[in-house]
Structure 1
């Protein structure tokens, strides 16, 4: 028994030894060691902070620091799991590795838009609580356009891009959620790579843009304080990627332009009959009824547009770079009109050590434009029965109509005179920013950054008109003028930020800012008569033999400064509950002592309802987030020195030959001038359906703008007409809807995406000065839209048998314009008074609603896309049809728009009978002829493209795309276009014709500007 026991013990001993021998290598392999490494963003090789690293199957884990570095204890057999929101989760077996370099890939294409720029930082789209809308540079480049504003038109709800000119190089008027101020600038702030941008969007090459983010509500824009009252456009340019080999990209296109539609002027036979119907004028010396001259055919030329951009980008392990250059040129359809731009840009970012990096961005351009003195007014008014040719076939210098003599202007004449009849504009601008950033050691997530912006803008203009040029008198003295302007702008920003994620659920972002900026501007111009030689052009004006004029109104110097402090806190819990709070204070040199500073708060909240545990899954619903925000912004609504009084000069006569220049008070000082400021409430709902195949945003906002700066009228005995004070108030409110859908997702190589947006903005004037309810001179009426017309309302034409014609219109006749009567009637049905000024109506110009749409279909490397915009309601003002254009006088003195006019045999006509002159060569109530329903739907572009790396180059690193685009192919649902054939988009300001006063400048019109064009473009993109 004892022996058996010892045998058993001995047996167990050998079993234990054998077990230890078998387990030894396993134990050895399982020994823990320290693993270190870095986690990078695979798209740009930047270190990713706050990445979660976990040993699979355990609770052991850590996170990366601000540079993406990490350390963790792990055994060789362990699997490390790397996870970060917006990126694909990656698993790595430790094995024999002690150092790891992990590059996380973006989760999917939808995640490319997950991060948006929100001002002094970025924020994941899921955590945004304000009203922000973004568009990528690739989307911008889908439309071959010379500037960004044209490429953005119709793509963003609440952002209205309106044409103010159709000349080559013209930019658009931008309004974000309507017009707030009556007298101040309503343009949004532009921020380029984090620095306030003093230039124009025309200065930027669209090929250099990586993304554009637009901040619309005050909770988002308050971070920019007084600069953000009208919204903020944040532009981020392309940069290189660390650790990537050099990449060369070329983008180019060439296109032709033709007139979208000539102005619908009468031809010879039509005009001859029209003049007889008017019965006012007989033919002039050079007019014959059997002549039919198409002046527009003799004038317009084919336009050309071309664009070329080349860039080089890449990076090292510690830095990145991007350099590029571009050239754009547009030869317009009007002779000698053109626009060109050369652009250069560069960016360099370099890591000095693990804590410090520095960088530099520069954008410079040189641009030029010519031919702005050439208009179409003379061509349109020339009668088609005028003969511009001599008997030998040469052009006459001038030709005579019934009462007018005109200088003969054709395409050949203008081009031959280009050196003695010119208007040139040249501009150079350089926008530069330098920055340094320090990751504070031992405090994860804390960074300090300083930005320095240095900008310089120079513009030179010159004009010269030789002797007898563009004048019926061949000995008219020559004239010339030259002007220069310079802008110097600097900005310094000191930013302290803290970004940290705690326990994988609590995301905290804190920003503190102190900044200062200064702007200096000077402008001067000189004009002269009697230039000794055409070779002088507009140079050497001191040699002029005639008068040399230095107009005080054409000389200017301004300097202003702004100092600011700001703090912002953004917090998110598990992407379920979000909050943001901002406080900013600005001090402006423009305002009076005691009123220079203003502080404004902003707060916004977000609730991602789909993240709630109690949320019952709803069929098809994948995203549902509610946002609400409140904020204040303000506006430096006055020019520098407006708080001070102003003296102006005036000549005083002492007898018939003697005079002296004296000074008088032209502006009274007001040391109480303060800020215009706005309060905005915003509510938004973000939603996604069918696994986010359909996504959308619905927004509602209301903005009250107070203390608007307006002129207060003074009695004539004061010697000054008015002074400026804070006394006005306006309100804007509206709804915006943005929908984007993936209708077909890669079904047999076929995809179809589409988007549509809708927005309406209603504004009204809430208060004017001193309790006034109306200012008829400016067409401002309390309770009505800011953009209003105060005029009669045309309801038809007077016809034979119409009751009370002579009572409504004493001395009136049939065939004349009939307007609405708003007065009272007697018991017998007769009016108590004649139609008069009391019958003028307040009419709203703005549309009921508007928006844009786009769609894109792809199939095995081929793509077809379309972009358009629409407008419903409102009033389109046509200076072409109204009295201000001189080409719808309905008299026969000059050529006339080809309109359906009243005769005894055509009583159903829209326009009055010809010859019914009231005053100033115009028919009574002629202004009403300018008003059309503003509705239209316009296709902006149709593009067909082919991606060659999906076919011929599919096994190559070369990317190549060819495309063809037609711009402005057609217009639908437009009363104005149906009648005239013209583009219903505006192209002029309301005061286009200053000789007749016109409409308020703020009202955009269709005028006799350079005609709109239809463009045909072939493009080519190459990257290798």
Structure 2
């Protein structure tokens, strides 16, 4: 998610989330996406959401507002309000993921390919490898048995033909996927007297995800109350607690598309995994445990659990000192505990494989079995603890006299965050029923691993047994003033100084001033303005600087304890970063022009904004002398210019018994790099262009080789180098940046939505259409590097369109199958403009239908209001520019669009 495009290259690109006046901190790396991050806030507790886009955001949030600010205000009770309660419950059902969306090679074609490669001896090295016994495909095993006379030719053909009728996706869909079911329950109660108000809520979510064995649950509680013990004094206190649990299993199926996971009776089958079948079949049983991998059974054999507890408490005290002058102090404390636990039960493949690899026979008698990894379950544990506190003291002053209005604030804010993390600790022989574990494990001895020839090793103790502790401190001073004359002319200004403990050593680089100024003119209040078309018209202008940050950038050299030496066990450290005493904040300059307007009776209203954005001192790696032990350091190395338009239109189309309104949003954003210090000479390094960072082009520029067709004799890909048709070898070794072509930006230049809402009596209907225009994406195609492996999981369906004989180059642009693995050949093909497609599309995003009942139209109703609703989301694309039926939001090979969902819910107020 971005607001007004990209504002940074290597720093945090997420907008700042503010909840009730304080930043909602990202407590740990478990929040892998923006949606995961904000999902820790109960949506039923939200009163309003405001998006701050221009430089005015800096007046409060300064060096963290460069990506925009999303301000969330939660619900609160009101003074002199009777007790009110609201109950909301809903269930969301999602379709199974469309596994057939990925353009995969059919099973029969992959089998024909494998037979051809087998006859050429392509798999012989793997088949004859008696050291590591690498896994080979099921078809290769069948063909090898035929070649060695273990089965007949007719049996071989029978088995191969049976495989051709399979499609692994059908079994995955049947045994490993399910319709997702998400349940949500929320209850809140609020009210107040003349001197006291309160708001309390509880919520519970239970989600069964589309992958079997994966589920999520969340329980939340919030209590907010405000006291007015004496006139002019308001005291607020709140507590919020969220407990969430995310459970998943490690089962994955990566194999040939002709595999089966179960037989006709539904019994679980094993698939090739880890080692060749001939090794597994001849392993020494029962000393060794069953070494087969059965994906269906693995669904219940392992479990990953992320358990998170988040508590926030705080409050504020506001006192009116004099008429128009008040003082306010706000405080918030946040603490989050995250426990990660992975349990592999004794039947899991992970456990059996590890036990088998470390199993040995005593040298003393040649009979005693030694299990260096003891039998039983294996549990990995790790955790993190996040602590954050914020304090703000603010003075507020407002005064109105004659035709003048003055509003000012000034304050100081401090905050500190501390992250403590512990590495994974492993327990062997764990019994989940009794809680007992194995003891006397020899972690010091070095064992020969099975299969013999695959190396040696100590019994693993966990991925990282160390700890991590990071402390960040910030201090800010800010002020804001707004002056209004005759309710027509408005002047505003703000200033903020931000400092932290991880920027430059020099004091003037630790503290960064950010400011903004603005003017507004309510033209419609002028005597000369008599427009009947737009009776309300207001113009505004703001100019100022916002900031951005990257927590891992520091002025000082940093080290970490890297663990113990493999041979002598001694503890050693590593230098993580050389530091940079000249480090500065990233700054975003924003100039904003805006017009707000409305017709009579607000039949048409909206706003139009034009903005100019400039990113300054953007962070990234800069080349340094490699003899120092580092090739680069983090510094301020880049700048960019951007501009855009935001248009909002609201209309009341029909204002009768049937009510029809429309809301139209349109955004235009473009940018270009103006400065970029690359580790190397960018004028001769084409890899810089492939990274998308080229001076004069957008931050997300897509550069490609210019396609010159296929070689008519070999089917090799060709591109233009120095305006000459050249081979992929020449392109890789001799092509200069000038030989590449700019295909376009990879993010939408135009984005918009149109929501229409209808009301007829008690029925409400709305639907939302969104569109994205003006951008491009590289289409996926066959990767021979992936296909030409010992055990291929298949390939792209473009394989069927490949060049096979002279003349095919007139009908296809898919290169021929190479005789041997050639990564350069693949690279040139995949980075050529023949695969570039327009990403423009229009999508029907959602439809909502509701029915309202209240006491005004049904007397005796036990509720104030009740609404029953249905909501459908991710409905589908109405139009797309590409002719391959690709969803541009899911264009990466292997990605699958979000399934359609439908929600049924009821909302009651009483």
Q: Is 1:717 aligned to 2:631, yes or no?
A: no
The structure-2 alpha-carbon separation of the partners of 1:772 and 1:903, relative to structure 1 and needing over 3 Å to count, comes to closer
Cα distance between partner residues in 1 of 2:579 and 2:542: 38
Name the structure 1 match of 2:908: 1022
Q: CA deviation at 1:945?
A: 0.9
Name the structure 1 match of 2:453: none
Contact 1:939 1:971 in 2 (8 A): yes
**2:546 equivalent among 630, 633, 637:** 633
Name the structure 2 match of 1:764: 672
Name the structure 1 match of 2:155: none
Contact 1:589 1:640 in 2 (8 A): no
Cα distance between partner residues in 1 of 2:3 and 2:104: 43
Q: CA deviation at 1:233?
A: 1.3
Name the structure 2 match of 1:494: 393
- 5 Å-filtered alignment, 1:150-161, equals none
Name the structure 2 match of 1:444: 323
Q: Is 1:359 aligned to 2:267, yes or no?
A: no
Cα distance between partner residues in 2 of 1:709 and 1:863: 49
**1:469 equivalent among 348, 352, 370:** 348
Q: Is 1:736 aligned to 2:646, yes or no?
A: yes
Q: CA deviation at 1:227?
A: 2.2
Name the structure 2 match of 1:962: 868
Please give the TM-score of this superposition, normalised by the length of structure 2. Answer: 0.79
Cα distance between partner residues in 2 of 1:253 and 1:894: 40
Contact 2:542 2:591 in 1 (8 A): yes
RMSD over equivalenced CA pairs, Å: 3.7
**The residue matched to 1:280 in structure 2 has which SS?**
helix
**1:622 equivalent among 519, 535, 542:** 535
- 5 Å-filtered alignment, 1:351-500, equals 351-371=228-248, 373-375=250-252, 378-379=253-254, 381-384=255-258, 386-389=259-262, 394-399=267-272, 412-415=296-299, 417=300, 420-440=301-321, 443-466=322-345, 469-470=348-349, 475=356, 480-500=379-399
Contact 2:777 2:839 in 1 (8 A): yes
**The residue matched to 2:556 in structure 1 has which SS?**
coil
**The residue matched to 2:160 in structure 1 has which SS?**
coil
**The residue matched to 1:191 in structure 2 has which SS?**
strand
Name the structure 2 match of 1:246: 83
- 5 Å-filtered alignment, 1:57-456, equals 174-199=1-26, 200-264=37-101, 270-273=106-109, 275-276=111-112, 279-281=116-118, 283-285=139-141, 288-290=160-162, 291-293=165-167, 294-298=170-174, 299-371=176-248, 373-375=250-252, 378-379=253-254, 381-384=255-258, 386-389=259-262, 394-399=267-272, 412-415=296-299, 417=300, 420-440=301-321, 443-456=322-335
Cα distance between partner residues in 1 of 2:898 and 2:466: 32
- Once the two structures are overlaid, the 10-residue window that deviates more, 955-964 or 777-786, is 777-786
- 5 Å-filtered alignment, 1:672-711, equals 672-711=582-621
Q: CA deviation at 1:894?
A: 2.9
**The residue matched to 1:352 in structure 2 has which SS?**
coil
**2:482 equivalent among 549, 552, 570:** 570
Cα distance between partner residues in 2 of 1:942 and 1:437: 44
The structure-2 alpha-carbon separation of the partners of 1:447 and 1:541, relative to structure 1 and needing over 3 Å to count, comes to farther
Name the structure 2 match of 1:873: 774
CA deviation vs aligned residue, 1:434-483 (integer Å, no higher than 9, x gap): 1111112xx32211111011111111111133467356958356754221
Q: CA deviation at 1:403?
A: 8.4
Cα distance between partner residues in 2 of 1:782 and 1:675: 22
Name the structure 2 match of 1:901: 801
- 5 Å-filtered alignment, 1:581-660, equals 581-593=493-505, 594=507, 595-617=509-531, 619-639=532-552, 641-646=554-559
Contact 2:785 2:822 in 1 (8 A): no
Cα distance between partner residues in 2 of 1:354 and 1:525: 53
Q: CA deviation at 1:606?
A: 0.6
Cα distance between partner residues in 1 of 2:192 and 2:822: 72
Structure 2's unaligned 5+ residue stretches are 27-36, 120-138, 143-158, 281-290, 358-372, 444-458
The structure number with the bigger radius of gyration is 1
The structure-2 alpha-carbon separation of the partners of 1:787 and 1:890, relative to structure 1 and needing over 3 Å to count, comes to farther
Name the structure 2 match of 1:781: 694
The structure-2 alpha-carbon separation of the partners of 1:891 and 1:847, relative to structure 1 and needing over 3 Å to count, comes to farther
Cα distance between partner residues in 2 of 1:540 and 1:867: 56
Contact 1:447 1:498 in 2 (8 A): yes
Cα distance between partner residues in 2 of 1:766 and 1:728: 7
The structure-2 alpha-carbon separation of the partners of 1:895 and 1:726, relative to structure 1 and needing over 3 Å to count, comes to closer
Cα distance between partner residues in 2 of 1:553 and 1:706: 40
Cα distance between partner residues in 1 of 2:884 and 2:293: 28
Cα distance between partner residues in 1 of 2:113 and 2:95: 35
Please give the TM-score of this superposition, normalised by the length of structure 1. Answer: 0.71
Q: CA deviation at 1:737?
A: 1.3
Cα distance between partner residues in 2 of 1:576 and 1:885: 67
Name the structure 1 match of 2:898: 1012
Q: Is 1:513 aligned to 2:437, yes or no?
A: no
The structure-2 alpha-carbon separation of the partners of 1:364 and 1:541, relative to structure 1 and needing over 3 Å to count, comes to farther
The structure-2 alpha-carbon separation of the partners of 1:541 and 1:205, relative to structure 1 and needing over 3 Å to count, comes to farther
Q: CA deviation at 1:348?
A: 0.6
**The residue matched to 1:246 in structure 2 has which SS?**
strand
**The residue matched to 2:605 in structure 1 has which SS?**
strand
Contact 1:890 1:913 in 2 (8 A): no
- 5 Å-filtered alignment, 1:548-567, equals 548-549=460-461, 555-567=467-479
CA deviation vs aligned residue, 1:849-905 (integer Å, no higher than 9, x gap): 112221111100101111232211323356x7574995x779994333444623669
Cα distance between partner residues in 1 of 2:41 and 2:424: 30
Q: Is 1:863 aligned to 2:759, yes or no?
A: no
Cα distance between partner residues in 2 of 1:402 and 1:923: 28
Contact 1:255 1:1016 in 2 (8 A): yes
Name the structure 2 match of 1:992: none
CA deviation vs aligned residue, 1:232-263 (integer Å, no higher than 9, x gap): 11111111122121111001111211125223
Q: Is 1:946 aligned to 2:851, yes or no?
A: yes
Structure 1's unaligned 5+ residue stretches are 1-173, 799-804, 807-811, 987-1004
Cα distance between partner residues in 2 of 1:306 and 1:930: 42
Cα distance between partner residues in 2 of 1:859 and 1:540: 66
Cα distance between partner residues in 1 of 2:568 and 2:293: 43
Name the structure 1 match of 2:880: 974
**The residue matched to 1:223 in structure 2 has which SS?**
helix
**The residue matched to 1:783 in structure 2 has which SS?**
coil
Contact 1:463 1:538 in 2 (8 A): no
**The residue matched to 1:398 in structure 2 has which SS?**
coil
Cα distance between partner residues in 2 of 1:975 and 1:890: 35
Name the structure 2 match of 1:533: 430
Q: CA deviation at 1:494?
A: 0.8
Cα distance between partner residues in 2 of 1:313 and 1:948: 22
CA deviation vs aligned residue, 1:43-64 (integer Å, no higher than 9, x gap): xxxxxxxxxxxxxxxxxxxxxx
Q: Is 1:750 aligned to 2:664, yes or no?
A: no
Cα distance between partner residues in 2 of 1:884 and 1:365: 48
Number of aligned positions between the proteins: 794
- Once the two structures are overlaid, the 10-residue window that deviates more, 248-257 or 777-786, is 777-786
**The residue matched to 2:520 in structure 1 has which SS?**
strand
